[in-house]
Structure 1
Amino acid sequence: MRFSSKIKLSGSVIALSVAMVLLPGTALAQATPSITTANDAALPTPQDAPAETLSDGSATDPSKDVIVTGTSIKGVAPIGSNLVSVGRATIEKTAPVNVSELVNTVPAITTSGSVAQGENAYSYYSPQIHSLAGSSSNTTLVIADGLRLPGGGTQFAQTDPNIIPVSAIERVEVLADGASSVYGSDAVAGVVNFITRKTFDGLEANARYGAADHYHNYDINFIWGKKWDTGGVYIAGAYSHQSSLLNRDRDFSSMGDYRSVGGSNTNSYSCNPATLAVTHLSGGGATPSGVFLSPSATSPVANTAANAPCNNSIYATLLPSQYRANVLFKVTNRFSDRFQVTAMINYNNQKTKALNAPGTISAATAFGPGRGFVAGQVNPFFVAPAGAMTADQENVSYRFDRADGAYGKTESEEDSIYATLVGEYEITNSWSVKLSDAFGKNRSALNTIDGFCAPCALLALNGTAQLSGDPTKTDIAGQNVIALNLPLNASNALDVWNTGSANRTSAAVLRSLYGADSQNTNYNIFNQAKLDFQGGLFNLPAGQVKLAFGGEYYWAEETQKINGLSNTGPSVTGSTFRQYDYHRTVKSAYAEIVVPLVSPEMDIPLIHRLDVDISGRYDSYSDVGDTTNPKFAANWEPVEGVKFRANYATAFVAPPLAVIGDPSQGYLYASGSVGPQNGTLFVPIANYPDVVSIPGASCTATTCTIGLTSNPGLRRQLGGGFTHEVPQTGQSYSFGVDLSPRFLPGFVAAVTFFHNKFVGGVSSPSPSAIVNSAGLRNLLTLCPTGCTQSQIDTFANIANGATISGAVPATVYFLLDQSTRNALNLTVEGIDAQFTYRRPIGDLGTFTIGTALTYFTKFTQNFGGGTDFNILNTSGYNTTFPSVQFKNRAQFGWEMGGFSADLFWNHTGGYRNWISSSVAPITVNSIGNPTGGGDHVKADNTFDLHVQYTMKGEGMFNGWQAYVDVKNLFDSDPPFYNGNTAGILGGAWGYNGFVSNPIGRIISVGLRTKF
């Protein structure tokens, strides 16, 4: 079936079903909403939850209607697992802008403590559990009401749970255990399930405005619903806006030279006016070494990172602005005492925008009188530095400033539509059948508008699109295409030697410098159809044995359309277009059985209750083969209020469609490329002895810095098909204890030890991992005398259809291979713990104290099956996820009457910075694996305060809430981190965006109305 036909079919089925549900029903029984837990502040869900009161005021019978995350069987929580639930009370006391901010309050989530704004380059918006990989190794399954969400973004087709309005969320359940036996692919680390409200009666609206230094945000959300005897309908929506935050508005992100705080000098040689490295003198003789910092400089400085003078970070965007609007419509109706249908449709639109910094060129050749490969290449504005007046050829590094400060912008945008249909029929009093269908379509785009045109600048500097100025080299690798701008004259040349009003570049040339537009648009579409049967098999002395089984059919298609520069000039005259098409189908079968072995009524000493759960799933993928994954779990309660649990599971992660690459295009894919390496590499001499022979390498006793203007290189990132990528697998087990002692009412606690092994993780290895790991060392090739053209063409996979983006340096000194591959093997162990104690104290009100924490005890990895090495309590070695050891979020609350106040302490423990730019070198063993070193990063401690007043009475204001929310109460800067963890848009040197928030103190006021 073709792409468009599938859309029409799925859309027609859902539209018809919605119409059916809206018809008047003749049900005899009232629909019962889903369960919320009593333990709302990130605490475990009890297995036998009592009937609860929901946010819409109704009650639920969990033994009849509810399926909780991690199991296919109604009426029980996942046996053997720790389930963390965040519900409406926490939503109200967190006042989140979006659901990502809500989930980031759970310490087990990798990004807890970070800012939920803008796309993350490595996991889109999807939360990740226990830092178990990231990037394309999406080991956390994100679902809504137990069904998959549409993929999105322009990299890995991962999910965006923020498409659901916060007002529609009943609770979020986080299951930090392997769950592929129930859900299939991607659930190696666990599951995050966003559960929407079943029904709602009345109207609730919430408006909030927050402000910080040079920053603000606001959001408005609402929900309106109507219930009737056999069901109900509601519509929920939200609009939010988060302003941009510029680097220059935060000292820690705009210093440029961080040596005074123990960091690196991140300044650049790309300045205005230009810095000049002389490469030829007209009168002969030895050319001066080093760089003249301006045309008026009388002597050069050594070409090292420490001497770079220009702070270009002040122009960048730290956080992009973002707006989002979404709406969700849901209707449920029970047509008889046995048949119920629920339909939901959700629409979402969001956009982010970041202003671009000025464009730069580095080490581009400029010719003076008498020089050039051919006549006409002499730049009429050429100026020799004051300290080398006979210079007639230079390498120029320059920043292209504009008087109006308009350097273009980068935008991401997303449109998605998501719909589900669930029909359930009770065959008997014990057995039921359920048909579920989820359909989604997402369009995600990443666009650059009026961006810097590097080939335009080179054409105006030396008459070619080449850094070297060689007019015989092709500008499009593998094709004989050469763009020339000859002869150079005052009307078409570029002046980089004079600044301000003295600059002689023509207006036409200045306009052409910011004429680069690019577009990367991804279309993701999927359909998931499930048929489930469940019921009781027979009774044992301890209770009924329950069975669930079923099948699933899933298909997904992805199309990527990419427009960009062709390296021959501005977009309007020189652009490229690529299209990648991928598809996948999956057929699955699964079963789960719950066996109660001992019940309280049996009165067996030290076995108050004993339950066993066995589940398994078979998946057949159209592109990566078959897999079978079991799970075994048990609960043992020796006495009432004390429960021990344990489980073991295997899992499977299918490689994402978006990173396989197109074989007809040399295995290029949307977020991959082959082109100049941007930025420097810090190469250990012990691992690469030849690095000291690279011309211009800046070396200490242990490390050399390359990738400078004097020794550029090339980088490739091709898809997994190029590296013969195979599926990823995982194994996990956990055991723990839940405590809810009857002698201490209001106290609930849980402690869980988890172990997770992840094999063959699909990843694009970071430069730091490559140069410091024995298993990846062959991915960096050094060429002390320059790489040959044959080496370059082979490296770029030109013969098989790949192309090089950007200008190839005149001499290439190294080749860095970051192609996606089954590179990563991880073993992670640790402890999740949480407790809460809630107690009224006479006339003083009710007090609550609690905490939730994650503490890793082991975090080892290897590449390609080599020797394990320890990365525990570090960040930066793997650029797509941290491995910080300890996170904690504690709460102290008080409420009396309609008034409540809650203080939260957010703590991330100190760790080591193992990014390749760490000042303290990473130490390695004899085979090149890291053993220690790196910069110490201080602990991060912030406090949040939420004060709320709920009005009570008989009037229209009954139930209204007014609140003040303060995040980062003491306006603490994030701990200094000598590196950059940028996302797709924004990001800056000086803080770790994985675990820290750059905004500072933000004070919000809000009003929540209820009718």
Structure 2
Amino acid sequence: MKTIHVALLATTALFAVPAVAQTAPVGPPAPQPPVAAPVTPLSPHQDGGAPADAGPTPVTEADVAPDIVVTGSRVRGAAPVGSTVISLGREDVIASGAVTTDRLIKQIPQVFDLGVSENSRGQSGGNGNITYGNSVNLRGIGPYATLILVDGHRVVNNSRSFDPSAIPTLGLERVEVVADGASAIYGSDAVAGVVNLIPRRSLNGIELTGRYGTADDFNQWQVGAAIGQRWTTGQFMVAYEHVYRSNLSGDDRSFFRSDQRAFGGNDYSVTRCAPGTITAGGVTYAIPAGGLTPANAGSLIAGTTNRCNDLIGQDLIPEQQYDSGNMTLTQEFGDRVTLFADGFYSKRKFVRQPASQAATLTVPQTNAFFVRPAGFTGTSYTIAYNFINDLPINRNPGSATNWQITPGVRVKLFGDFEAEGIFSLGRGNDQSNTYRGVTTANLNAALASSDPALAFDPYGLGRTSSTTLERISNSIFLAPTLNKFQGYEARLNGTLFQLPGGGVKLATGYEGQEIRTSLGSARGVTGTPIVFRKFQRRVDSVYAELLLPIFSADNAMAGFQKLDVNVALRHDKYSDVGKTTNPKVGVTWSPTRGVSLRGSYGTSFRAPLISQIYGNSNNLFVQTYQNPSGSPIVGVALSGANLDLKPEEATTWSVGADVDVGRRLRLSATYFNVDYTNQVEAYLSDLAILSREQQFAGTGIIFRGTDAATRVAQLISSGIGVVGSLPTNVTLFVDGRNNNLGKSETRGIDFVANYTLPTDTVGTFQFNLSGTYLTHYKVAITENAPLIDRRNTIFFPLKFKARGAISWDLDPIKLYVQATHVNGYTNNAVAIPQKVKSYTPIDASISWDIGGRDGSGMLSGLTLGAEVRNMFDIKPPYVNLAPSGNGSGGYDATVASPIGRELAVTIRAKY
């Protein structure tokens, strides 16, 4: 077993009230710790209608109740040390208008839509997103480099990532995000940071909600209910939501077109049309619109082609339906024992409408309908062809089902020490299927047949028999992924001894994970059985963390109002990829009241996913690639296993300051640095890879010409199947398997500013500004390759993202307006780089508490609301990019939304 040596990790402190920490009696909600600065509220409204807090406040030991276990530091009753937290409270969940939790999180400026989302699959990691789910990509560092937790513990995933939408928004107390490495606290995956989804435990009553939103050719709606009961020694809560989102077709958006000359771009039209284009003896002939027979063969004109948009009917956003529910439970037994539990169930169903299938056909002279162009003496030729008039659309239905239950027990020991035991049991089931793909062997047989009843007619006259068409389109593609997860945790927490500044606190424990993954595959004619490959992984981890309060209110002196030091050590042992040890250190220093300085340093790691090591499939995929120098190119990409994958490693550090200017203005800034090495990269879904072709020289990732044809022939002869119709002449090959190729350097500044202005007569005004500015982002294709600046280029992190908001609260009316800004950047996927404009949509909402804050009676708990997203219907900035089956085309799906202006109404009732 090899050892991975990892050095010091950056401290992170993610504040939450986890399941094991709630012990408040029935009545008012349990006391909540203030959130560590800087906080980025999405709205100014509190759940109960009271004005929201103005913004971030530094947390001291006095702010945190002794029974609270802060999820970022593991130390019970501790304040944050050295790190920042972005917190979205219950009031933010309500005012955001987000119909699912993943869309709530995407409103945070530090979250980039690169790789794993429902409409953007063309970047690193996107090829594994076969169910069109959403994950979190902090700062664009990587789609699998952010760890997502539920109530502070790990959860089952689909062998790739966890979709936050599994937790309904109605059952969510808050979301907290640490945009900093955290492997010393949580282990693998916490390279870019941690997202903690904290379920509700404060609800005492019934809450109902409904929302309907509509935009041009798109709509979505949400209904939900939550019931909570609190009593002297415990609580129970259960929530359920149903969400429906219609599809959005590319046909309904003018920018998603092959011919983009009207926008000042290129003509990306192809010759795979209906009718198609013959290439015989190197000469092209456009098949006439009325079809082709020997009788009108003389109408063929040499040198002509048919050109068209081959992505007609393709969805930009698939149709999705969500059913999700979650629960929490807490019960005390005497003074020393508390039982607790949380759980969730989610099933997300989708249907994605692709474009019609297309291929380059080889038509021999034996074909029953063969037409010979004048002067052509060969025995066969090719036709670039689209099956839109012959075969059904190969729709892609599927689902993602996840459930988990996590019970635990907490026991009070000697002194203030407490022991906890937690067990998690979860299951995941991903299904992604197609049933009417082209079977290449049957197609070739039909093209060669001299029997009109069995032959395929590629000349546009629809003479192919229904039996033959059925036989040609009987290829299935089934890709189930089954996951089983068991987690074990044992924790010990308490004060070791006293220093002048306070008690030295210890948190230590053990975590175990058992992961079993079954990767299924059925690719072939109808009836091909699913073959499962089964894998398992065992992870054993131990950790210890110390909090040393050097200065506090007990011994404060000039220049040292507060000084905390946090150190931690974690060791993880994997059954398949080795072991790693990660320490961390963090410091928070307050030289004077209202000013807090902090810093952290350390390392993180990410173990390669089982699906990355062994591959979701072992196939050659025929795909169309963006060509910087001309028309798109049909190439062949390989997916499969790479048993030599190693863990990724990162060194992270940050420094920052939080300042309170009086009681109304709060400012915060953090400078961060992430050096990421040994990154696992896969280029299966990267259809713009040719824009960086020179960087791949010598890596074996891209082959051209005869080298590409030879490589593809070798793979086919070894038994690897082909998905799609193989080009007659293969000229491009891409190795799309996962490899430890990349490294990156990311540096930048996060900032937050909050200002509150209360008035005596016209209510309370609040102003918020938050964002991220990248000062440095360089990547290298391999460890030894030169680092290249990719900041502000297409499909890489952008320099500047920010959000500004203004709110007005005058009971019973609340008004909220926010603008989200994404700066312009360079599209270098074309021969002449294009400057893409910035994008700044503006949202607004208004709500009316019918009964007012102090109202009573039937209407006291009723709130009506209206909102408009993208109020001025700002179109996505035009991007000169060929339409792609993996997202984007005429616009950049990683930056802008294709939906446009959306109007919505909401109703919420609380009893």
Scaled by the length of structure 1, the TM-score of the pair is 0.80
**Which residue of the partner structure matches residue 365 of structure 1?**
362
Query: Which letter does structure 2 place at the counterpart of 1:47?
Result: V
8 Å CA contact 1:210–1:1002 kept in 2: the answer is yes
Please say if 1:379 is aligned against 2:375: no
Write the letter of the residue equivalent to 2:451: N
* TM-aligned CA deviation for residue 1006 of structure 1: 0.6
Q: Which residue of 2 aligns with 1:289?
A: 283
Cα distance, 1:980–1:259 mapped onto 2, change above 3 Å? closer
SS, match of residue 446 in structure 2: helix
2:624 is matched with 679
**What does 1:967-982 correspond to in 2, within 5 Å?**
967-979=869-881
Partner in structure 1 of residue 41 of structure 2? 41
Instruction: State the SS of the aligned residue for 2:312.
Output: helix
Matches within 5 A, 1:653-802: 653-661=606-614, 669-671=615-617, 673-676=619-622, 678-680=623-625, 682=627, 703=629, 707=633, 714-721=636-643, 724-741=644-661, 743=662, 745-765=663-683, 766=686, 767-768=689-690, 771-773=693-695, 777-784=699-706, 787-788=709-710, 791-792=711-712, 794-795=714-715, 799=718, 802=720
Query: Which residue of the partner structure matches residue 159 of structure 1?
Result: 162
Q: Select which of 147, 150, 156 maps to 1:144.
A: 150
The residue type paired with residue 941 of structure 1 is T
Matches within 5 A, 1:492-641: 492-499=454-461, 503-565=462-524, 570-572=525-527, 575=528, 577-641=530-594
Pair 1:118–1:526, CA change in 2 (3 A): farther
Q: Distance in 2 between matches of 1:118 and 1:199?
A: 37
Matches within 5 A, 1:403-414: 406-414=392-400
Unaligned runs of 5+ in 1: 1-20, 52-61, 280-287, 369-377, 464-487, 662-668, 684-702, 921-933
> Are residues 1:393 and 2:380 paired?
yes
Decide whether the 8 Å contact of 2:502 with 2:554 is kept in 1. Answer: no
Give yes or no for contact 1:716–1:817 (8 Å, CA) kept in 2: yes
Amino acid at match of 1:994: T
Matched, 1:207 2:210: yes
Give 2:760's aligned residue: 842
Secondary structure in structure 2 of the residue aligned to 1:100: helix
Task: Find 1:994's aligned residue among 894, 899, 910.
Answer: 894
Asked if the contact 2:746–2:778 (Cα under 8 Å) also holds between the matched residues in 1, the reply is yes
Q: 1:50 to 1:410 in 2, by over 3 A?
A: farther
SS in 2 for 1:459: helix
User: CA contact under 8 A between 1:749 and 1:835: conserved in structure 2?
Assistant: yes
Query: What is the rounded CA distance, in whole Å, between the counterparts of 2:229 and 2:868 in structure 1?
Result: 34
Per-residue deviation at 1:77?
3.8
AA paired with 1:615? A
Secondary structure, in 3 states, of the residue corresponding to 1:510?
Answer: helix
**Aligned AA (2:138):** I
Letter in 1 for 2:601: Y
> How much has 1:631 moved relative to structure 2?
0.8
Q: Distance in 2 between matches of 1:37 and 1:971?
A: 35
State how far apart, in whole Å, the 1-side matches of 2:273 and 2:24 are.
Answer: 76
Separation in 2, partners of 1:26, 1:936: 56
**Secondary structure of the equivalent of 1:93?**
helix
Contact 1:37 1:49 in 2 (8 A): no
CA separation of 1:114/1:740 partners in 2, compared to 1, >3 Å: closer, same or farther?
A: farther
1:221-268 deviations in whole A, cap 9, x for unaligned? 221011111011111110000001111111111x22113323332222
| Residue in 2 that maps onto 1:475 | none
Correspondences of 1:53-68 after superposition (within 5 Å): 62-68=64-70
**Are the equivalent residues in 2 in contact too, given 1:100–1:116 (CA < 8 A)?**
no
Find the counterpart in structure 1 of residue 8 from structure 2.
none
Q: 1:245 is aligned with what amino acid?
A: L
> CA shift at 1:114, angstroms?
11
Q: Output the CA distance in 2 between the equivalents of 1:810 and 1:546.
A: 69
Contact 1:103–1:112 at 8 Å: present in 2 too? Answer: no
Q: Which residue of structure 2 lines up, in the alignment, with residue 694 of structure 1?
A: none
Which of 451, 458, 462 is matched with 1:489 structurally?
451
Would you say the 8 A contact 1:114–1:996 is kept in 2?
Answer: no
Partner in structure 2 of residue 284 of structure 1: none
Summarize the Cα distance change of 1:31–1:959 in structure 2 as closer, same or farther, 3 Å threshold.
closer
Q: Which residue of structure 1 lines up, in the alignment, with residue 822 of structure 2?
A: 908
Does residue 911 of structure 2 align to residue 956 of structure 1?
A: no
Q: 1:854 to 1:30 in 2, by over 3 A?
A: closer
- Counterpart Cα distance in 2 of 1:116 and 1:812: 31
CA–CA distance in structure 1, aligned partners of residues 118 and 56 of structure 2: 25
Residue of structure 2 equivalent to 1:866:
784
Q: Is the 8 A contact 2:128 2:616 kept in 1?
A: no
> Which SS does the other structure have where 1:493 is aligned?
coil
Q: Is the 8 A contact 2:258 2:883 kept in 1?
A: no
Secondary structure at 2:283's aligned position in 1? coil
Q: What are the superposed Cα offsets for residues 174-207 of structure 1, whole Å, 9 maximum, x if unpaired? A: 1011100000000011101111112421001110
Say whether the 8 Å CA contact 2:171–2:325 is kept in structure 1.
Answer: no
Distance (Å, rounded) in 2 between the aligned partners of 1:116 and 1:958: 39
Q: Decide which moves more: 188-197 or 809-818.
A: 809-818
CA distance in 2, matches of 1:415, 1:983: 25
Over the matched positions of the two proteins, sequence identity in percent amounts to 26
How far residue 543 of structure 1 moved from its aligned partner, in angstroms, is 1.1
Partner of residue 605, structure 2: 652
Which one of 128, 133, 141 corresponds to residue 132 of structure 1?
A: 141
Query: Could you tell me which amino acid in structure 1 is paired with residue 386 of structure 2?
Result: R
- Work out which of the residue numbers 399, 409, 414 in structure 2 matches 1:428: 414
TM-score, normalization by structure 2 = 0.88
The one-letter code sitting in structure 2 at the alignment partner of 1:411 is P
Q: Which residue, 276, 279, 287 being the options, matches 2:278?
A: 276
Contact residue 827 and residue 861 of structure 1 kept, 8 A: yes
The answer on whether the counterparts of 1:101 and 1:115 sit within 8 Å (CA) in structure 2 is no
Q: Is the 8 A contact 2:287 2:459 kept in 1?
A: no
Distance 2:624 2:120 in 1: 23
Asked if 2 retains the 8 angstrom alpha-carbon contact of 1:117 and 1:242, the reply is no
Structure 1 residue 412: Cα displacement: 2.2
Per-residue deviation at 1:458?
2.8
Q: Deviation of residue 672 (structure 1)?
A: 5.0
How big is the shift at 1:113?
A: 14
Indicate the residue corresponding to 2:50 in structure 1.
none
1:835 touches 1:851 (CA, 8 Å); kept in 2?
A: yes
Match of 1:700 in 2: none
After superposing the two structures, state which structure 1 stretch, 854-863 or 33-42, moved more: 33-42
The 3 A distance-change label for structure 1 pair 243 and 438 is: same
Whether 1:252 and 2:238 are equivalent positions in the alignment is no
- Work out the number of aligned pairs and report it: 854
**What residue is the counterpart of 1:485 in the other structure?**
none
- Deviation of 1:894 after TM superposition, in Å, equals 0.6
Conservation of the 8 A alpha-carbon contact between 1:104 and 1:113? no
Report the 3-state secondary structure (helix = DSSP H, G, I; strand = E; otherwise coil) of the residue aligned with 1:260: helix
Q: In structure 2, which of residues 731, 735, 738 is the aligned counterpart of residue 817 of structure 1?
A: 735
CA contact under 8 A between 2:312 and 2:356: conserved in structure 1?
Answer: no
1:468 is matched with none
Residues 202/31 of structure 1: CA separation in 2 closer, same or farther (3 Å cut): closer
User: What letter matches 1:497 in structure 2?
Assistant: Y
Change (3 A) 1:775 1:143: farther
Q: Which residue of 2 aligns with 1:97?
A: 99
Superimposed CA distance per residue, residues 494-553 of structure 1 (whole angstroms, 9 cap, x where no aligned partner): 112134xxx322232233343333211000111111111111111111111111111111
1:547/1:983 CA distance change after superposition, 3 Å: farther
The answer as to 2:751 corresponding to 1:833 is yes
* Residue in structure 1 matched with residue 802 of structure 2 by the alignment: 888
Q: Which runs of 5+ in 2 are unaligned?
A: 1-19, 43-54
